[in-house]
Amino acid sequence: MTDPSRRSGASGRPLRADARRNRDALLASAREAFRAGETEIRVEEIAQRAGVSVGTLYRHFETREAVLAEVYRGEVDELCAAGLAKAGEHGPAEALRLFLLDLVDHAAASRGLAVIFEAIMATASPVFDEARAAMESTMSELLTAGATNGALRGDISGRALLRALSSICGVQATPEWYDDSRRIAGLLHDGLTASAPGTPRPR
């Protein structure tokens, strides 16, 4: 889901090396705040922590929400890239299991960021649709690879699997939510491997 604008400023022009460094510093500053749950962080604070001026921030991002959307985009990019990379090390079936657990962790980390997400959504940013598409694509790629080598059943789509996992992660938080969600994600994975190479079990 990498956006070409990540390599350019708010104007869309390609960035010089020093401008790229400033942009990366701004994103690192915002990412730290994002991960710490600092939902009310101001652009002045993001810029100060990055060691640049507020004017520099606005040369790269039109709004605070644009900075935060780009941070979220980067988080999902890293999550999906890591999921695919694990296929080479562990095989697609195990990589899919780890990716499902990583998505539960991602959902858990995101629960305290509702204010930030609402602010981003108010701008009609496409970042959440892009994130869902990237997660679905990663699942589809791992499912296809697993079905090809006989480790996973081949009759489940990435979209269906993401819907199932989203329904788990979307329930109201309780003290047991995290552990239960990880266990259920494991059950989803077990169901995908139980009847490989690709047909449901007879009833």
pLDDT of residue 151: 93
* 34: confidence class by pLDDT, cuts 50, 70, 90: confident
Measure the CA–CA gap between 191 and 56, rounded to whole angstroms.
51
The model's confidence at residue 41, banded by pLDDT at 50, 70 and 90, is confident
Q: What pLDDT score was predicted for residue 50?
A: 95
- Over residues 3-13, the mean pLDDT reads 52
Looking at residues 53-61, what average pLDDT do you find?
Answer: 93
Q: What is the mean pLDDT of residues 110-129?
A: 82
* pLDDT recorded at residue 1: 66
From the number of C-beta atoms within 10 Å of its C-beta (0-12, 13-18, 19+), residue 50 rates as buried
| pLDDT at position 12 | 54
**pLDDT band at residue 172 under the 50/70/90 scheme:** low
Radius of gyration of the chain (CA): 19
CA–CA dist 122, 136 (Å, integer) = 24
For the chain, the three-class secondary structure string (H helix, E strand, C coil) is: CCCHHHHECCCCCECCHHHHHHHHHHHHHHHHHHHCCCCCCCHHHHHHHHCCCHHHHHHHCCCHHHHHHHHHHHHHHHHHHHHHHHHHHHCHHHHHHHHHHHHHHHHHHHHHHHHHHHHHHCCCCCHHHHHHHHHHHHHHHHHHHHHHCCCCCCCCCHHHHHHHHHHHHCCCCCCCHHHHHHHHHHHHHHHHHHCCCCCCCCC
Residue 36 pLDDT > 80: yes
pLDDT of 197 strictly over 50: no
The answer, yes or no, to whether residue 123 has pLDDT greater than 60, is yes
85 against 173, higher pLDDT: 85
What separation in angstroms does the CA of 197 have from each of 88, 98, 115, 174, 200?
Answer: 20, 20, 44, 37, 9
Average pLDDT estimate for 144-159: 93
pTM: 0.82
Does the pLDDT value for residue 112 go beyond 80? no
**Residue 28 to residue 19: CA distance in whole angstroms:** 14
> Among 7-11, 42-46, 91-95, 122-126, whose mean pLDDT is lowest?
7-11
Say if residue 15's pLDDT is above 80. no
Is residue 94 a contact partner of residue 86, using CB atoms and an 8 Å limit? Answer: yes
> Domains in the chain, ordered, with CATH?
4-63 (1.10.10), 65-194 (1.10.357.10)
- So what's the pLDDT on residue 194? 57
Phi-psi sector, 91: left (phi>0), alpha (psi -120 to 50), beta: left
- Residues 62-96 have pLDDT tens digits of 988 899 899 999 999 999 999 999 999 999 999 99
